[in-house]
Structure 1
């Protein structure tokens, strides 16, 4: 698996600046080309019923905004000259998520990296509308990054949530490739979603469920060719929560996970514009970057 070209979609936020640090990290290992994209939302000047001189001024302001964005993206990418094989600046005018998807397709990128926008109460990052739409509609994998204090980042612990379906192989293959390059540990996690009725169940029944799930996880791993996972530490984990997304996020927080890799939806078939509810919740609440892959 290769990441030959990365699209960094930037809106100037702290989250998108943090996304660039992960782009730099990945490009240093994969030798990737980087395309830096900023989308300037247009003013429909032609429809405005204003004097010609005012229209000219508005055109001038639009041009200045585009130039300002070009300089900002170019300055940021210049710092990555030694890490990437090629750097390109792309400034577009239009609706952000549509331009991101169009450029990603035209440039044939292997990864889209962007920030999660919107800072709510208690420092909770909410999924921004543009990021949400890109996640739902992109064919390329998408790396959604939240702002993080400090400059030091690495990918030493990778979490791969699984519902034990065949779709797990997609995210696990990606995780194995990254783990090989970063010497990472992979945590293959299955979260048993417990119904409220389990509250009156015996601990013996719950333990039996956990053991069965762990056995299925190990059976799945045993089917993977040994040469593929040679030298990689893969740990099978089973947790029990009322909601799978909460179990995934909680595991990431408690174990200092650096990156979560998951498909946009699982075997339940909840496709809702190609982003299932579990994936959407994990992306929104995760303390670390989440890389989603469309099956």
Structure 2
């Protein structure tokens, strides 16, 4: 599925983690890797420096970017890695390069210096607009099990055993399923097909509230409303599980009721998920799961890689 992977870097610890995941995926799929450094001269010059930056400063920025790229490439060991350092606006440059690859793997945040590449806004724009799927890896410090492991001096697992594939049965979800199954197959992992009925949306559509039980409880939302949503979720998750089993991949299913973003984050932590594959958008109806906000919530709050797949034709 992947023959070429792009790994933008600025030499930050988050970028290094993303590069490690890019290399693990490349090894599993026998793919090539390009490590990319971007020097943002406009950002370096600042809004009040109409004359730009002098050559000495430019050279220093390019040298630092090259050092970051070389450091990431050294993590490849015997794997073949191409490197490049270019000037430009980071998000636009990454998006342009992405068209020549099958996958992008990048951190969500990086350095705060003027030569930074991996700012939150950069990764968000790449996820929204990339012509190919994007794997994002966030910084440590969220308090999850993988963060605790990193704090104790051990790196999060690069050999994925459990892959989470949220689904609502939409076309965007189906596109992400292909990637989730491919990763699970390559790593001999178990697929977790999960659907969350958005009780808040159901309640809003019915003109009632979620009740004292909170967003995670049905409360006054009647069974007549929830039952078809749950049945749709069971059908959607079973379709994913069936596809997994036909491909020789183990699969489990789960259907829950509550806030999709919160429940998926909790599920990822509780089930020991190592990798997430999901669409960036899904249904716009009451049973929606894969909304942009849900994807963004997982990207921000789970410390395992999140592979985001845009709907085909989205934004074109």
TM-score (norm 2): 0.76
Q: Would you say 1:136 and 2:128 are equivalent positions?
A: yes
C-alpha change, 1:49 and 1:18, in structure 2 (3 Å) is closer
1:27-72 CA distance string (max 9 Å, x none)? 1111211111111111559x9577xxxx8x8212201220222133
TM-aligned CA deviation for residue 258 of structure 1: 0.6
TM-aligned CA deviation for residue 287 of structure 1: 3.1
C-alpha change, 1:281 and 1:215, in structure 2 (3 Å) is closer
TM-aligned CA deviation for residue 147 of structure 1: 3.2
Q: 3-state DSSP class of the match of 2:171?
A: coil
TM-aligned CA deviation for residue 264 of structure 1: 1.0
In 1, Cα distance between equivalents of 2:76 and 2:195? 37
Structure 2 residue runs of 5 or longer lacking an equivalent are 112-118, 141-149, 204-209, 212-217, 312-316
* Counterpart residue number, 1:59: 55
Q: 3-state DSSP class of the match of 1:200?
A: coil
Q: 3-state DSSP class of the match of 1:164?
A: coil
C-alpha change, 1:215 and 1:23, in structure 2 (3 Å) is closer
Q: 3-state DSSP class of the match of 1:167?
A: helix
* Counterpart residue number, 1:124: none
TM-score (norm 1): 0.81
* Counterpart residue number, 1:268: 284
TM superposition outliers: structure 1 runs of 4+ over 6 Å: 204-207
Taking only aligned residues, the RMSD between alpha carbons, in angstroms, comes to 3.1
1:191-234 CA distance string (max 9 Å, x none)? 011131531357x779856862454236534874964x22x111
* Counterpart residue number, 1:220: 239
In 2, Cα distance between equivalents of 1:74 and 1:118? 17
Q: 3-state DSSP class of the match of 2:139?
A: coil
C-alpha change, 1:49 and 1:21, in structure 2 (3 Å) is closer
In 2, Cα distance between equivalents of 1:222 and 1:116? 30
Q: 3-state DSSP class of the match of 1:265?
A: coil
* Counterpart residue number, 2:207: none
Q: 3-state DSSP class of the match of 2:219?
A: helix
Structure 1 residue runs of 5 or longer lacking an equivalent are 120-126
Count of residue correspondences? 270
